[in-house]
Homo-oligomer: A and B are copies of this chain.
Amino acid sequence: MAPAASRSLAENEELLDRLTQELTDLVDDGKLELAAGALVVHHPADRAELLECMPDAARDTLLSHLGDEDLAEILDFLDEEPRARFVSRLDDATLARILVFVDDQVGADIVEELPDERVNPVLSQLANREEVSELLSLPDDSAGRWMSTDFLALRAEWTVEEAFAHLRRERPDTGDHFYLYTVDNEDRLLGVVSIRNFITAQPEARLADIMVTDVIRLDQKTDQEQAAERIRHYGLLALPVVDEQGHLVGLLRADEVLNVQVEEATEDMYLQVGLGADVSPFSPILEALKVRVPWLMMNLVIGFFSAWIVSRFSKTLGEFTLLAAFMPIIAGHGGNAGSQTSTLVVRGLALNEIGKRDISPVVRKEFSFGLAYGLLAGTLTAVLAHYMSNGDVRLSGIVFLAMCGNVMLATLGGSMIPVLLKRVGVDPALASTVWLTTLTDWIGFLLLLGLAALWLEAPGSR
Chain A positions within 8 Å of B, measured between CB atoms, are 1-2, 5-8, 10-11, 43, 45, 52-53, 76-77, 79, 81-82, 164, 167-168, 171-179, 192, 194-196, 199-200, 213-219, 226, 228-238, 253-259, 261-262, 265-266, 269-270, 272-275, 279-282, 285, 288-289, 292-293, 295-296, 299-300, 303-304, 306-308, 310-311, 314-315, 317-318, 321-329, 331-333, 336-337, 339-340, 343-345, 347-348, 351-355, 358, 361-362, 365-366, 368-369, 372-373, 376-377, 380-381, 384, 388, 441, 445
Contact A317 B321 (CB under 8 A): yes
Identical subunits present = 2
Residues of B within 8 A of A332 (CB): 299, 303, 306, 441
- Provided the pairs A81-B353, A173-B196 are in contact, do residues A254 and B280 lie with their beta carbons within 8 angstroms? no
Residues of B within 8 A of A5 (CB): 214-217
Contact B299 A233 (CB under 8 A): no
Contact B77 A328 (CB under 8 A): no
Q: Which among B45, B200, B272, B353 is the interface contact of A233 at CB below 8 angstroms?
A: B45
Q: How far is the CB of A344 from chain B (nearest CB, A)?
A: 5
Contact A329 B351 (CB under 8 A): no
Q: Could you write out 30 A-B pairs with CB less than 8 Å apart?
A: A5-B214, A5-B215, A5-B216, A6-B216, A6-B219, A43-B234, A52-B355, A77-B235, A79-B351, A171-B200, A172-B195, A172-B196, A172-B199, A176-B192, A176-B194, A275-B340, A280-B353, A281-B366, A288-B369, A289-B372, A292-B340, A296-B336, A300-B377, A303-B328, A307-B328, A311-B322, A317-B321, A324-B324, A328-B441, A328-B445
Q: Which among B289, B300, B368 is the interface contact of A380 at CB below 8 angstroms?
A: B300
- Closest B-chain residue to A175, C-beta based? B194
Residues of B within 8 A of A348 (CB): 280-281
- What CA separation (Å) do A306 and B332 show in the bound complex? 11
Q: How far is the CB of A385 from chain B (nearest CB, A)?
A: 8
- What CA separation (Å) do A220 and B265 show in the bound complex? 27
Q: Which among B45, B217, B380 is the interface contact of A6 at CB below 8 angstroms?
A: B217
- What CA separation (Å) do A345 and B362 show in the bound complex? 35
Contact A230 B8 (CB under 8 A): yes
List the 6 shortest-distance A-B pairs measured between CB atoms, nearest first: A303-B329, A254-B254, A310-B325, A311-B325, A232-B258, A324-B324
Residues of B within 8 A of A215 (CB): 2, 5
- What CA separation (Å) do A249 and B348 show in the bound complex? 34
Contact B355 A168 (CB under 8 A): no
- Provided the pairs A176-B236, A258-B228, A351-B266 are in contact, do residues A368 and B318 lie with their beta carbons within 8 angstroms? no
- What CA separation (Å) do A213 and B1 show in the bound complex? 8
Contact B217 A2 (CB under 8 A): yes
- What CA separation (Å) do A377 and B380 show in the bound complex? 36
Contact A384 B340 (CB under 8 A): no
Residues of B within 8 A of A317 (CB): 317, 321, 324
- What CA separation (Å) do A266 and B349 show in the bound complex? 12
Contact B311 A354 (CB under 8 A): no
